[in-house]
Amino acid sequence: MTATITALTATGLRAHRDELASLLLAVVDGGSSLGFLAGLDQRDAAAWWDSLLPAVEDGSLALWVSRTGGDGRIDGTQLVPARPRRTAATAPAAQADGPPVGPRPRHRRPAARPRRPRPPAWSASARAAAAPSGLPLRRCGRP
């Protein structure tokens, strides 16, 4: 199955807010905290997406979504902070015989973790596989 990844604008965020809130609820209910406590409800999840609207509108935050099914449903998200634009005033001064002077820019910008719900069979199959071997579940890649 091929994933389609697209950027979502502020208008798209408003249009898909309830779908994104449902995805966030599925992820949190599946055991990923992402900074949220269990018991998150639809209204609070929708309010969190609404809180991102100003940053998406002014371009300081990019929202990417993935769709893997043929139904066009969003099944994953990625939030990426925008890079500050370098201008002549903000660029470090160059030495005549060497590289620019000043702090080195970081190689990558930090990005929010992708939000994907765990497969429903994860808990049962992983626990069943780990139980007879005596291996802790953490070794399998999940807490």
Q: What is the pLDDT of residues 51-76, one digit of tens each?
A: 999 999 999 999 999 998 888 899 99
| Architecture, CATH, for domain 4-83+110-117 | 3-Layer(aba) Sandwich (3.40)
DSSP state of 104: P
Q: Which of 22, 9, 118 is nearest to 74 (CA)?
A: 22
Give the span between the Cα atoms of 16 and 56, in whole angstroms.
Answer: 14
Determine which of 22-26, 30-34, 49-53, 117-121 has the lowest per-residue pLDDT on average.
117-121
CB atoms inside a 10 Å sphere around CB 65: 21
Q: Which of 112, 14, 110, 113 is nearest to 54 (CA)?
A: 14
The alpha helices in 52-91, defined as continuous H runs, are: 53-58
Q: What is the pTM of this model?
A: 0.58
Residue 23, Cβ density class (10 Å: 0-12 exposed, 13-18 middle, ≥19 buried): buried
Helix (H) or strand (E) holding 20: helix 17-29
Percent above pLDDT 90 for the chain: 34
Mean pLDDT across the stretch 23-38? 84
Per-residue model confidence (pLDDT) at position 2: 84
Per-residue model confidence (pLDDT) at position 85: 61
* 33, two tokens: 């905290």
Percent above pLDDT 70 for the chain: 57
Mean pLDDT across the stretch 18-28? 92
Residue type, 16: H
Per-residue model confidence (pLDDT) at position 141: 46
Nearest-10 Cα torsion for 48, 58, 13, 69: -110
For residues 3 and 128, which has the higher predicted lDDT (pLDDT)? 3
Determine which of 42-46, 67-71, 79-83, 109-113 has the lowest per-residue pLDDT on average.
109-113
The domain ranges of the chain are 4-83+110-117
